[in-house]
A and B are shown apart, each in its own frame.
Chain A
């Protein structure tokens, strides 16, 4: 199985900040990488697919980049509603696997 490792595991930031979350795959996955946002008690919500494509309805302050083994999710100008847990997922091979999550907290 392909292992997905996110860093950091937790992150404190303020409204208006720019934050970057990193996801590393244990082998090359081209750009078969998705990002999800999850709020407490809710299901994950798709933000980015194919490493850099913004899902319809997702604010443009979210962006993704990367290819191969290293990927980033960037959130520009953090809003209150962005404080949540973020997960990456590789869809390069079965079984699909997820990172362990990054908990974004208010500073």
Chain B
């Protein structure tokens, strides 16, 4: 059974860097894309970006200048860094595996999510 677990600080100061890790169990990082999505009351579900196990990435254009997603295949982990955070970045952050078949793709499974609050 594939399980994803997000971890990282629950409180980040404005202008600092948010750093989260998604640890994957029950599935190798290889051969999949791994996504970060966040959810805040004001904006619903918002896709942040993804990384393919080979290292290729894609990001939402609105966040691209502040976000880096990386993968550590030896630890079976995917990481998210978001720089220069503001209160608007307060959200529950999820990682999710991208499933794919016959040209279609979807997000499954998801981690349980971790709440990150940006506040001084």
Contact = CB atoms under 8 A, between A and B. Distances in A.
Interface of A: 31-32, 34, 36, 42-46, 49-50, 53, 55, 87, 89, 91, 94-101
B60 interface: yes
B58 interface: yes
B112 interface: yes
A53 B104 CA distance: 11
Contacts of B102: 50
A94 B107 contact: no
Contact of B107 (A42, A53, A89, A95): A89
Interface of B: 44-47, 58, 60-61, 94, 96, 99, 102, 104-113
A24 to B, nearest CB: 16
A50 B104 contact: yes
Contact of A101 (B44, B104, B105): B44
A33 B106 CA distance: 9
User: Which of B46, B94, B110 has the most C-beta atoms of chain A within 10 angstroms of its own C-beta?
Assistant: B110
B94 A49 contact: no
Contact of B47 (A34, A45, A53, A95): A95
Given A42-B112, A43-B113, A44-B110, A91 B47 contact: no
Given A43-B112, A87-B45, A98-B45, A34 B107 contact: yes
B45 A34 contact: no
Best-buried of A34, A53, A55, A95 by chain B (most CB within 10 Å): A95
Contact of B108 (A46, A87, A98): A46
A71 to B, nearest CB: 14
A101 B107 CA distance: 16
A100 B102 CA distance: 27
Nearest to A94: B58
Given A42-B112, A91-B104, A49 B45 contact: no
